[in-house]
Structure formats: structure tokens, C-alpha cells
Structure 1
């Protein structure tokens, strides 16, 4: 960001004068918003038809599951809410389920955002509101009362605010190098959590370290006819040979190898060299997540030195961001493909990243050209189980997410202006807690509308998958 510290501070203060902190609690009225079922259904045409009912089945599991899958609904609501005018790179879907631990290239566990399907530059408060609302919705799911939920959200908002103030005082390189290692989380827990929570985190660390390519390899593959293959588990996991039974396997392997070679050009030369040592073995379509169900997602099995040296890549369709139609001024695209958009956003926001993160545009099995991004399927990945948390645990976790989000925003936005905007005591924390409760009410209302749509046959639902 250019300009003197004084000028950037003045920019933030002017923004707060135009949009006071308490304006951030305001919600769009029912008459000012789109039908949430229509918003969700508008995404169906671009998805695999037989998988769309699974998406709705997963969303109807609970109001929190609905919230996870309804990023498009909230984007439309945020578009008609007060906006500070200060921008940064957004995750676009910064709910608490999209934070977690994974391996750095140096083989250390780090904590960060881990989902960037919707990433675009936009108003910083959209991400913070999505995080705050997710904490309120999750708090209801685990049975917290209103006062406890407010405490959780205010703690997360306060941590975001104080972190931004700290980042505003730091130099650009210091901000860029800052990250949350698992060891830092341990220190936080020792200071603020009881022994049970510390032991639970240690167990989660061990589980995350076990979630690697070898573990996924053993779980997802088997030997068929003397050759290692991805094991079919339809409709959630379907090998490409089952989807295209009449296609010559050798022709298919040549096609996949060409695609991998093209994707490799988006990697740095050293990582391209590493990937070149692996050979294609098998590929399957996989159903992932909640909101992503129905988008095209593949896992690709590769072998390096031998069968005991596997690499599993996830090749996931990159659709247009749900934010794109709602951002102020409708900014023009700066990337050649949606896959490149996702990868560029992830590289900007994450402190460290997957060494195999890249993108590709390819023709699908239906003959249509689509954008994809590629990453490792599992590399010490893990996330917290909201269902097992109490108030203290959710407050700690929400605070960690708030700090992490502030760090990501400080890397890409004017942290000095944002800190000046937020420097109004606890008014920001109070406003976010009020907004989060109101949005949790709205989320439950929308969840009931989707359930009604299922009962009346407006949407098709497949549960239990």
C-alpha cells in the first residue's frame, strides 16, 4: 500500500465517519433480499446433476451445515449491508470450518485458512461477518445460551481488532513472514485452557500428522488384478474407468498425463521437477464438502519410486466466485481462469502453502471446458470438531481464527487504514456480536425454507451420504 502512515490513518478515520462501527450490525430486511432457495438452486445447473441431491441432503443435516453450504446466500445479503469501503483479498467463505492445520513445506504443522474457492478482493468486513455468524450458528448447535454466544463472537472480533492494530505497527516483511505454527497454538492453550483441552489439541495434532498421502492411499485404494487402483464407493467415489467404461484405458492415461504436464507449468521449476518423478496410476471422481458437492472434483493417484511412494492430488473445479456478482463496482477479472483466481488468492492469503498448488483449464468427460485447481489431497490436514467444544473451547478457537483472518487481511489490504477504522474501543466487537445473532436467526429461517422446499418437492434430497 502506498501513502504515508498519516494519510493511511486518515483514510481509515474518514471511512469510520462515513460508516460508523455500529452500522456493521445492520441486517438487510426480508423484502430487500432474494429467495435463499432460488439463490442455491441457481448454482445447480452448473453441477453434476446426480450429485445435487446429496448437496441438499448434507445442507439439511443441521442449521450449521446449511450455513456452511450457503455462502452464496450470505454474499447476496452482505451486498446490501453497510460497507466501510476498505478492501483486501477475501477468503469469501471464512466460516470456522474453513480454518485448520496442515503441513508447511518445512514439515511443520501450521494453522491457517484452508478454503479459497470464493476468494476475490472485496470489503474486509465481509469475511469477518462470515466468521462471526458461523460462531453464533455453531454456538447454537452446541447448546450455548445467548450471552455465551455473544462472549464467543466478541472475543473473536476483539482478537481480529487487536491483531490488526498490531500488524499496523509492523513492517511489510514482518507481516508477510508471520504465521501461526502448531507450537504457537500450544502456548496459547497453556495460557488459557485447561489440561483436557491441551490433551485434546495434542490428539488432534497427532491425527493431523497421520492424515497424509500414505494414510489416504491405504484407505482409498486396493489391488485389483495385480494393479493398485482407487476403490469404488459410489456415488461418493467413482473411478474414471467406471464413468467411462468404453474408453480405452491407454488413451485415457495419455490424456491425463497431458493434463498433468500442462498443470505442471503453473508450478515453480523445482516443484515441476519433483512432480516429474511421479507416474499416473488411476483417477476417480470424489464428492467433497457441503457447499462444493456437485462441482467436479477428482483425485489422481501417482506413484514415485514405487508403490510405497504415493502422491494423491485433488483436482477441483473452480467455478465463478459467489462474491463476483455482489462486489461494489463489479471489479473486472485479473486472472485468465477461475483456477488461477483461486490459486492466486490462496498464495496471497496463506502464510505458507501446498508445494503442488496449481491450476489447469481442461475439457471434462462431458466435452465441456472447465477451470480447475490442483493441490495435495491430504498433507497433515486437520480441523477442529465444533460439536465437541464448550464455550471456552469455542471462544479460544474463534479468537485464533480471528487472529488468523486479520493476518491474511493485513497481507493484502491497507492494514493501517483498517486498524484506524477499528480503533474505536469495543464498539466493533459489540456490533459484530449483534450482527452474528441476527444472522443466526436469519440462517435458521433460511434452513426451514430449504427443508420446506424438500418436503414440497421443489428440490430433490438424498440424505445420509
Structure 2
């Protein structure tokens, strides 16, 4: 596999004033609550919060199309038009499909807090949702970690805030509602960081955001009914539920096999990933699991593998699903997603050994609970790196078109809570809260930034559409939507 070429980047992301929040130490000593808060407060003098509202200037000769073409490196040529089509639908679809662009812009900003910790990296509002705990409870939180990395904590806040502006425009609620949603989200984030400050590290680790509890706290009856509907549908979203749609029964073998529906679902051809050597791949994957999950995994055998197109930004990267059955033909469907380097990989202080491990390590650190089959492995001689999880497994997200302003505010509050827990678990709530403060300035700064970046996104999207119109970017038909 050809090595990915990287775009021009700043010399470094970390500075002498940067603080590593994951260790909870400063000069070799653990920080208590007061010390952490004061350290965060002192960081304001190094990077005033007002400076966080400023957008970066892109390097000369670099525009959004440059980053788009960079992000297409190594993707399957046949699927690039599918990705372009899905991104062309709206400014929000474009925003979702280009997390690398915003990460690139963030890296070039003149100021950041210097408070470094594990972040989601693609923290937009549709990357929050429901997912299953090992106990089969439906939890709420961040559910996509393809871009996770160690970076300034506020980068997650900036992307989430921007997504509310762009989403509010898309569903014709307007900027006023988008700005209000940002205020609700930031206030919830700060409020719940304050709550996590009162807990011990162990208590914070054990905290869960139960979707059923969120439902109980929903006062608006209209929204409550919508959330009840989502809650009910989540419990039906399992591997077994999609089996009739994705597979046919083969009377000769006694096994089910995936139904070819190219280009979105098809069996791999000679020379493609998973055309052969799947057994060796799953042996390596098994080694990444905890010992008790290895015992469970050994009760299944792989009966079929197919390539499957997923998402918006992931289209064109290599993704597949594998059907496993136990001795009584009970199914388990795993999803394998190629994990590519971040656009910021050259800035990392330590080299990442495996991109799939990077993804699942970030997920394990930031999520309240993880899929029991979450693991990683490389494929054969090509060394493509994948992470593995169960397909669906109660994973759901909201329907943006179903939202009004009240629902958007409720959802913004939930996202603020979930992000606060993820950051408190992965970082240091005392330091972050000390930096943000209790006033309105942080809200104002993030609203200003989000509005500016939404305007930039609109301009980048227009340029993208023009490139399509000029025939320089090929798009697939509506059947891929």
C-alpha cells in the first residue's frame, strides 16, 4: 500500500506551555481539585479565551479542494464518486464528510488552550447517539472515533458548536436557534464538568448516561414521544434484525451468505481485501481482544465476508462485514473499518503503531462502555489497518429532519452532558473548568467561532459543488444515497 503523503503543517502542536491532562500530574505530582482549577485558570493568561474565536488562515496554495483530494488518497477509486455524491447533498453532509478539513484548519490556528487530552476529533452532533453497553442497556454518548487523537480539548467543542449552526440552517431553523443551541450545549458541558469535579476518578469512570434516564428527564411530551420511539427502535437494531435483509440461506451449505448489491454491498474480488486470508486476519483480531472475549469469540466460525459501503466521510475507505455462526447457526455480524492516519499524524509527539488501535484506544478511554468485540488487526501483506466492532448493536442517531427548536435544545443539552463525561473520563475536569470559567465569555467565544466556521464551510461547499458542475469531480447517481 502506497504511503500517504501529508500536507504542509505547523512545526508543532505542543508548546512549552501545553499541559497533558490525561496524566492528572503537574511536575510529577498529582493535582487535587483546587490545584487543577487554578492551573486551568492560570492558562487563560497564556491563551486568553477571546483568542479562541479567531479562524486560521490556510497556507498559500491550500484550499478545501486540496484537502478533499488529500483525503481521497488510498480510497477505492470506484467509490470516490459515491463519497462525492453523499457529500454534495447539503452543507451539513459536506461538513460531516470532511472532518480532516476542520482538523487541518484547527492545527493552523494561532492560539489554542494548550490543554491537551484525548478528543473525539469529529465531534459533530450526529456523531452522538445511542449504543449498547455489555449489559444490553442503551447508553447515550459519542459513538464515532475514527479521528480520535490527543489535541486541545476545545477542538471538540468548536466542531460540535459549528455543527449546531450548520444543522439549524439545514432544517430551516436559522442562526438564532443554532446560536441558542450552542449556549445550551456549553452551559450543560460546564454544569456537568462541575458535577464530575465532585466525584472521585473511580466514580467518574463508573458513570453512565442511560438513554432511559434521559427520557425520564424530558419534560416536553412531543419530544418525549420521539425519544421513546428512538429508544424502542434501538433495541431492535441488532445483527439478527438485519440478517434477512443482508443475507440469503444457502441450502447446499446450510449457511447464510451476503446478498450482492453492488456497489454498496458485494463480495470481494481477487486482489481486494478479504478476498482471501480472512482466517489469518481474524486470528490477529482475536489476539487484540481480552481473554474472556477470546473464549466467547471461539464459539463462532466465519461463514462469509462482504465489502460494504458505510457513512459519508468513510466512503471509499475499505469497510467490510463478516457473518459468523455458532454450532446452532446463531449469527454474529462484525464490521471491519479501515483506520487511516489522521491528517495531523506528523504532529503527534509519539508515532502511532497501529491506526486501528488508535481508534479503539480513544473509544475505550472516552466512552462509558464499549462493545465487547471492539478490537483491531492488520490485513495480510498490504498492511491495511482495521478496527472491528459489532454491526449496529443498538447504535442509533437522531433524525435531523425530525427536529424543531425545542428538540434541538434538548439534544444540545444531552450532547453537552455526554461530552463533559467523555472529557472528564479522558482528561481533567478541574483544569478545563478553571480555563472556561463561569461567565458568559466562553459561550460568546464559541458562538462567534462557530458562526465564522459555518460561513467558511458554506463557501467551501459552494466551491465543491462548482468543481462537480465543472466536471472535475465525478459523482454517482441517487441510488447510492
State yes or no: 1:355 paired with 2:369: no
Equivalent residue number for residue 125 of structure 1: 154
TM-score (norm 1): 0.92
1:250-273 deviations in whole A, cap 9, x for unaligned?
x94xx3222212211111111110
In the alignment, which residue of structure 1 is the partner of 2:231?
205
Structure with more relative contact order (C-alpha pairs < 8 Å, separation 6 or more): 1
Deviation at 1:458, TM superposition (A): 2.2
Q: Does 1:217 align with 2:252?
A: no
1:346 pairs, out of 363, 372, 382, with 363
Structure 2 Cα separation of the partners of residues 390 and 412 of structure 1: 32
In 2, the alpha carbon distance for the partners of 1:117 and 1:246 equals: 22
Please, which of 123, 130, 133 is the counterpart of residue 94 of structure 1? 123
Query: Aligned to 1:155, which of 174, 184, 197?
Result: 184
Alignment-derived partner of residue 172 in structure 1: 201
Aligned counterparts of 2:397 and 2:177: Cα–Cα separation in 1: 23
Point out where structure 1 has 5 or more consecutive residues left out of the alignment. none
How far 1:225 sits from its partner (Å)? 5.2
Range that drifts further, 284-293 or 74-83: 74-83
Q: Does 1:312 align with 2:341?
A: no
Q: Is the 8 A contact 1:33 1:76 kept in 2?
A: no
Determine the C-alpha separation between the residues in 2 that align with 1:107 and 1:8: 36
Tell me which residue corresponds to 1:56: 84
Name whichever structure is richer in helix by fraction: 1
Aligned equivalents of 2:162, 2:423: Cα separation in 1: 18
Change (3 A) 1:370 1:245: closer
Which residue is equivalent to 2:7?
none
Structure 1: distance between partners of 2:135 and 2:272 = 44
What is the distance in 2 between the residues matched to 1:409 and 1:347? 12
State whether residues 34 and 76 of structure 1, in contact with CA within 8 Å, keep that contact through their aligned partners in structure 2.
no
CA distance in structure 1 between the partners assigned to 2:212 and 2:272 by the alignment: 52
5+ residue gaps in structure 2?
A: 1-23, 25-29
Name the CA distance, whole Å, in 2 between partners of 1:403 and 1:55.
Answer: 32
Change (3 A) 1:153 1:246: closer
Do 1:287 and 1:294's aligned partners in 2 also have CA atoms closer than 8 Å?
Answer: yes
Q: Matched residue of 1:88: which SS?
A: strand
TM-score normalised to structure 2 length: 0.89
Give the RMSD, CA atoms, in angstroms: 1.9
Tell me the distance in 2 between the aligned counterparts of 1:179 and 1:5.
22
Number of aligned positions between the proteins: 448
Structure 2 CA distance for aligned equivalents of residues 386 and 125 of structure 1: 24
State how far apart, in whole Å, the 2-side matches of 1:225 and 1:235 are. 26
For 1:34, the equivalent position in structure 2 comes to 62
Report the equivalent of 2:218.
189
